[in-house]
Amino acid sequence: MTPDEIGARLRTALGAPADVEASVSGGGPGFERATVDVPSHRWADAIRAARDDAELACDFFDWLSAVDEQDAGLAVVAHLWSTTARHGVLVRTRVPSEAAELPTVVDVYVGAGWHERETYEMFGVAFTGHPDLSPLLLPPEFEGHPLRKDFVLASRVAKPWPGAKEPGESHAGGSRRQPMRPPGVPAPDEWGPQAAPADGDETQDAGEE
């Protein structure tokens, strides 16, 4: 099946609703991938249909993750593969950043469990019905979701990153914003080797000289 046929087949398996769109993504011949965009309430149905439809037969769960599209919300993507037909399909949906929630697909693919835990941890997408969304990579006391674009990295406070500092900024002519500091992280001149000496320290140093 071609990528166009795969996308059309999954859409048909879902009843060809108007809110499901099939397209082809990828770059160049041999690298195209069928992509099916579904609303969040059809997410689990689309994953299950890709597995159970006889022509699609996507019996292998490859990966699941998210992309922070800022004002547009969070795009959640799953890649499924058929080991018999040797074709794949990307199933994609979008959830709002402030209420990021999807039904779990662990009952369809057990292997989705770890991917959903990581996506919850890094992007804050909750998967309802998941048996255990405990931290996978971060300590339990960690607050926030590091792969969201509004998450402030403390390392940027202490040491600027090379290259463009923020999207749209460049070395030449780009405006440079003041680094943002998360709550509780002191400015570089308040701690460490860059810290300015306290008034008492300055007086003491002068007396010693």
12 Cβ contact list (under 8 Å, min separation 6): none
- Provide the whole-model pTM: 0.73
* 195 φ/ψ angles, rounded to the nearest 5 degrees: -65, 135
* Cβ atoms < 10 Å from Cβ of 11: 20
Residue 156 has pLDDT above 80, yes or no: no
In tens, the pLDDT along 77-94 reads: 999 999 999 999 999 999
Work out the mean pLDDT of the chain and round it to a whole number. Answer: 84
> Cβ(89)–Cβ(13) under 8 Å?
no
pLDDT band at 197 (very low <50, low <70, confident <90, very high): low
Q: 């859409």: which residue's tokens?
A: 11
> Cβ(72)–Cβ(81) under 8 Å?
no
Q: In the chain, what are the domain boundaries? A: 3-143, 152-209
Provide the sign of the torsion angle of the four alpha carbons 143, 144, 146, 152, taken in this order: negative
Residue type, 95: V
In tens, the pLDDT along 101-149 reads: 999 999 999 999 999 999 999 999 999 999 999 999 988 888 889 999 8
Residue type, 30: G
CATH number for domain 3-143, candidates 3.40.50.150, 3.40.640.10, 3.40.720.10, 3.30.460.80: 3.30.460.80
C-alpha closest to that of 59 among 111, 16, 2: 111
**Quick one: how far is CA 15 from the chain centroid?**
29
